[in-house]
Amino acid sequence: MVERLRSEGIRDEVVLSAMNSIPRHIFVDEALAIRAYDDSPLPIGSGQTISQPWVVARMTELARNGRDLDGVLEIGTGCGYQTAVLAQLAKTVYTVERIVALVNKARRHLQSLKIRNVRLAHGDGSADLGESLAVDAIIVAAGATHVPTTLLKYLKPGGRMVLPLVQNDDGERGVQRLTVIEAAPAGIREQVFDAVRFVPLLPGLA
């Protein structure tokens, strides 16, 4: 899997090493384990999917941007796979999931790997989290129609938010693209990257 990711343009060897250290098959149902290392999303229950490895690697690479990470906030824990990857790269990962069944599933997976630098919460990641956080990166693992500005306050100066954002100005209405929102000294800077497809970012708890 890692060699394929490298051949598909992932350049950050620290990210590739982190992904190599996490057994992806434990995050999917046993019946799907044989497909765990394919470069495709897989169902994880509750109408959600585990992202394809390339997307996980690319989002993590964009968030890291060659830097050491102290804290990372993840919106949309899902089954916990990207959380586990991020836990190899950051001192602390704060992760929020709105679907309680997935919270429980992710907690079991992370405990099975003895990952202890993750704070996992059942919450609404589209709203103010009510936390006093300051993180180097935010990864939003759900498609948004606009930048969730309530989360920007958690970014340290120079920090980056990576999210699938619907772009409507390029002739392809409704296309999600990986977008980086950077808290630059001169203000918020936005960069648009690869086309992706995520489930929508929804409000409320489930």
Asked whether residue 201 is domain-assigned, the answer is no
| CATH code (residue 106) | 3.40.50.150
Mean pLDDT of 98-115: 96
Question: Percent of the chain at pLDDT above 70?
Answer: 97
Q: What residues contact residue 184 under an 8 Å CB cut-off, 6+ apart?
A: 158
Q: What integer pLDDT is reported at residue 173 of this predicted model?
A: 62
Kindly report, residue by residue over 1-18, the tens digit of the pLDDT: 999 999 999 999 999 999
Kindly report, residue by residue over 36-61, the tens digit of the pLDDT: 999 899 999 888 899 999 999 999 99
CA distance 206 to 192: 31
pLDDT at 121 over 60: yes
Host domain of residue 133: 2-196
CA distance 56 to 82: 6
CA distance 84 to 196: 21
pLDDT at 129 over 90: no
Asked whether residue 44 is domain-assigned, the answer is yes
Asked whether residue 203 is domain-assigned, the answer is no
Whether residue 46 lies in the annotated active site: no
Catalytic residue, from 7, 51, 112, 132: name it. 51
Phi, psi (degrees; rounded to nearest 5) at 28: -120, 165
Asked whether residue 202 is domain-assigned, the answer is no
pLDDT at 124 over 90: no
Q: What integer pLDDT is reported at residue 180 of this predicted model?
A: 96
Q: How many domains does the chain have?
A: 1
Kindly report, residue by residue over 155-193, the tens digit of the pLDDT: 999 999 999 998 765 545 678 999 999 987 777 888 999
Grouping H, G, I as helix, E, B as strand and the rest as coil, residue 152 is: helix
CA distance 164 to 196: 7
Mean pLDDT of 82-89: 98
Q: What integer pLDDT is reported at residue 171 of this predicted model?
A: 47
Pick from 131, 126, 87: nearest CA to 109: 87
* Secondary structure letter of residue 52 according to DSSP: P
Asked whether residue 206 is domain-assigned, the answer is no
CA distance 76 to 55: 14
Higher-confidence position of 198 and 78: 78
Asked whether residue 204 is domain-assigned, the answer is no
